Amino acid sequence: MHCLTDYDTKVLIAFNLSMNGDKRFADFLLNNGFPELAALSAAINSDTDALQWLLDNGYPEFAILSNAIDNEEHAIVWLDKHNCEFLSTIAAACRKDDEAIKWFADNGLDLFIIMIRNIHQILLHQAWDSSDVHKRRRS
């Protein structure tokens, strides 16, 4: 299984910046051997094609992480069942679980705290967009 702790700090910074929609950092990830992080970034931003790419290309734990961040119960259970404790803790922290956030703070994992805050902001924007009647699809 893959984990975000497998990556160098510089790569994780690029991943974090790519989640904000900065194409330069997504391109960096794609062109430097980290397409899975570019796909995870897109999946967190609700790109279902990217989520499917993760599933089809040997990164199911990252696809499941994206779903667990979105509070999908089956994904949360899957991470626990497959002993993906770090990814499970990230997902919980992104959902504002106080104990998970405290764990990252207590362990001095500042880069991951920044990443978690970023993901939480993405989730807030997604919630706002879904409740905006001007952005709702009319059929």
User: 136 in a domain, yes or no?
Assistant: no
User: 85 in a domain, yes or no?
Assistant: yes
User: 39 in a domain, yes or no?
Assistant: yes
Distance CA 92, CA 70 (A): 10
Q: Provide the residue range defining the domain that includes 82.
A: 4-131
The per-residue pLDDT of the chain, averaged, comes to: 91
Predicted structure pTM score: 0.88
Centre a 10 Å sphere on the Cβ of residue 118 and count the other Cβ atoms it contains: 17
Residues 25-65: pLDDT tens digits?
999 999 999 999 999 999 999 999 999 999 999 999 999 99
Residue the block writes with tokens 């805050």: 117
- Write the DSSP symbol of residue 5: G
Q: Are 81 and 57 in contact, with CB atoms under 8 Å apart?
A: no
Mean pLDDT along residues 76-85: 96
User: 123 in a domain, yes or no?
Assistant: yes
